[in-house]
Structure 1
């Protein structure tokens, strides 16, 4: 019997291989590890007891939410020393206040359930992403998730009022406080958001909810170039102001892949196009939103910024448009060996980023760039699909992957961008982060890690190397 079974309810500790298996690999099957146990606490006090034991025994702890991450940050290493700390049973919504516009949720709450709880009181929790039916609040906080609505509402960080969390030593920092204004001391919440479980374990959060726009309309536009997409963004902003809820870019290669993998999904155009822009606009009245969006697209067509466009006339049509966008992750997962990058540059530099990637990828025969992302906030997912036969030689595949990574990160560095925009560093980008981060900032991050977790038990090897985690 595992020692934690005497500290917690025995049903909270899983040690049989079949029961542990889903927690030991990420959803794409790229990160795989082993662990001595999977632990499923039911309360914050349970989390504290687990971390007290881990601190006393020097046991590494890997916090895990919905296990939908793309950077390997929620998967244990292969040493077998770690325990996986699943927050899935801390899944209650603790309070909703539509007057103060706050919602308090435990870390294991599914994002879609939080969205629905907000909708039930006439509010919106605006973080929206493809995995929202399975990702958990703790995970989106740990990675500072983005999604399609960042252009209007900001990152997850911008929607958090307070946190409850447990330190590496098992101390509970009670909360979360639902304060819109709190100017007392350092704001430690912002250190924990985006820390990927390496500083503390978040158990609950007070979130901002907002009044949803009474009217919403979606559109899909075809454009010839990324520059044209930015011209469309500018034109729509001049027409509807800051009522743009989402503005997404997808290349023709990616759209063709989605259509091939999901042929039942409706494609609204007669022809193929090199680039597509997904748009969602919000406003006070349906007729005003519809008229202004239609006017903006008509103007864009007249100026040859847009080559074709379709405006959703119903909720069903809107869902059809966005299904094409949200199917990207699964389509890429099914397509074959893909080297994925989640990068960001200044919005105005997105066309240069794409042009440089398209030019330099010619050095890799048969590599197919799949470009999609949140052009309105400068975040582009650069996915490079390699030929299937490359998987026959894993050593060669890893070598080519490293070369592709270096190429992409060099391009991003030349544009003063970021190698991770919303997915986190995890294990996959740790080495690149260590080499490319500002040395002063990296030293400060190392000192922060040591302050929160001096024994280095929380997610060792994620974001920072194990040796960096232990450096005073």
Structure 2
């Protein structure tokens, strides 16, 4: 639907400065951009803006500054904390970056790549592979999440144990301030001490400080030899022991080390239908392992088999299977990547993206299990996560028939959150490890963070966005800014 040409309409004025396809105002056109991936948050918007260039983004933000229009940046809309969904006021404009989707350059001598905010992660991985390089970030949503979103949330994924989070992969950023000024910071420099590293503030800021339009990333040598295994283990303590043993043998070649409880595995198997575990019996817990090396003649399968044999002799694991082909390895990892979709379909659940010290993971899980049994006996606690970096996703799943009223469920969810976050605090952990604060955890952050820390964060927000038009209501309480 064309934007009304009413001369008094600020939106019509903006539409006149942009290509007509850049402004969506019809309800049916905007609908896909106004609901989060889980379908739990629904907002309204003045318009959905789809810039084609950095110049368009600058034009939009200059307009937003003049008209005081709140802007909600949005990438692939795969977030799990509600940070890319507008509120219900209808005053916000959603800024969708999906059409800024070029790979600008790949530098094989300097091992770097520059990608625009709308590039899908899988596209970035593929371009790196074409250049015989590796971009190591790997997520379940990699077929739809976008560069701007992964930077804005400091995404993690299954390879953090070896390569770190997005913060460890970013070399430079191009971004647009709230007033429309474009900051050209894409230099792919490994060493640069010229002033404050402002990009570090942008990474993980969830669109509250500026709009990221492109990023330069580190690339790595392509992995030419790898081995993947799925292990059945008795408990989380065994997982930590297995990780320690594997490190002693494989060293820094461990790319992934993922933990999953059997109840979560059951949901995944139900979702995938024909999928089956490669074991005769089910196990209480499972570990997914991948080790890899850039040397083509590295005997990764032998290294992994040796480590698993030692762990079996030490009664650390109950069973294990090592993939014998790339297809088998992909099938094993599909069991891990299907978790989010399985949980989404399973029923009303309250999920958490927590982190504790790796050594504390078994005691943390036990504490959650005990609290859930005592305070929420009808809920099924589920655990899955990147145990190598202490990031454990805790989900309390309730029966579908138990909550027909959303308001009642919201009250229970608040109680669950308070319980889990109290346990996280006892272990000195974090209420979010990779999903971000978004809108879902704003109140929890306010309760968990030191007041002086919140004061500093508010000062940074005001310095970047003095009018408060960038993603208002995300990360910080409006009263705190």
Query: What TM-score, normalized by structure 2, do the two folds share?
Result: 0.96
SS of match in other structure, 1:265 = coil
206-215 or 95-104, which moves further after superposition? 206-215
- 1:312 aligns to 2:323 (yes or no): yes
- Counterpart CA distance in 1 for 2:297 and 2:315 is 27
- Given that 1:13 and 1:39 are in contact with CA atoms closer than 8 Å, whether structure 2 keeps it comes out as yes
Counterpart position of 1:102: 112
- Counterpart CA distance in 2 for 1:391 and 1:75 is 24
- Given that 2:262 and 2:286 are in contact with CA atoms closer than 8 Å, whether structure 1 keeps it comes out as yes
- Given that 1:141 and 1:157 are in contact with CA atoms closer than 8 Å, whether structure 2 keeps it comes out as yes
Gapped runs of 5+ residues in structure 1?
none
- Counterpart CA distance in 2 for 1:467 and 1:48 is 28
Per-residue CA shift, 1:123-158, capped at 9, x if unaligned? 011110000000000000000000000000000010
Counterpart position of 2:246: 236
The residue correspondences of 1:34-433 to structure 2 (distance < 5 A) are 34-283=44-293, 284-285=295-296, 288-362=299-373, 363-433=375-445
- Counterpart CA distance in 1 for 2:402 and 2:437 is 26
- Given that 1:266 and 1:320 are in contact with CA atoms closer than 8 Å, whether structure 2 keeps it comes out as no
405-414 or 213-222, which moves further after superposition? 213-222
Following superposition, the deviation at residue 467 of structure 1 comes to 2.5
SS of match in other structure, 1:242 = helix
SS of match in other structure, 1:323 = helix
- Counterpart CA distance in 1 for 2:113 and 2:407 is 48
> In structure 2, do the counterparts of structure 1 residues 285 and 238 end up closer, same or farther at CA, with 3 Å as the change threshold?
farther
Per-residue CA shift, 1:41-100, capped at 9, x if unaligned? 011010001000001111000000000000000000000000000000000000000110
- Given that 1:265 and 1:323 are in contact with CA atoms closer than 8 Å, whether structure 2 keeps it comes out as no
SS of match in other structure, 2:317 = coil
- Given that 1:219 and 1:311 are in contact with CA atoms closer than 8 Å, whether structure 2 keeps it comes out as yes
SS of match in other structure, 1:131 = coil
- Counterpart CA distance in 2 for 1:141 and 1:352 is 32
- Given that 1:71 and 1:429 are in contact with CA atoms closer than 8 Å, whether structure 2 keeps it comes out as yes
Following superposition, the deviation at residue 285 of structure 1 comes to 4.4
Q: How many residues align?
A: 469
Following superposition, the deviation at residue 287 of structure 1 comes to 5.7
- Counterpart CA distance in 2 for 1:147 and 1:343 is 13
Counterpart position of 2:8: none
SS of match in other structure, 2:366 = helix
- Counterpart CA distance in 2 for 1:437 and 1:131 is 29
- Counterpart CA distance in 1 for 2:23 and 2:31 is 14
SS of match in other structure, 2:57 = helix
Query: What TM-score, normalized by structure 1, do the two folds share?
Result: 0.98
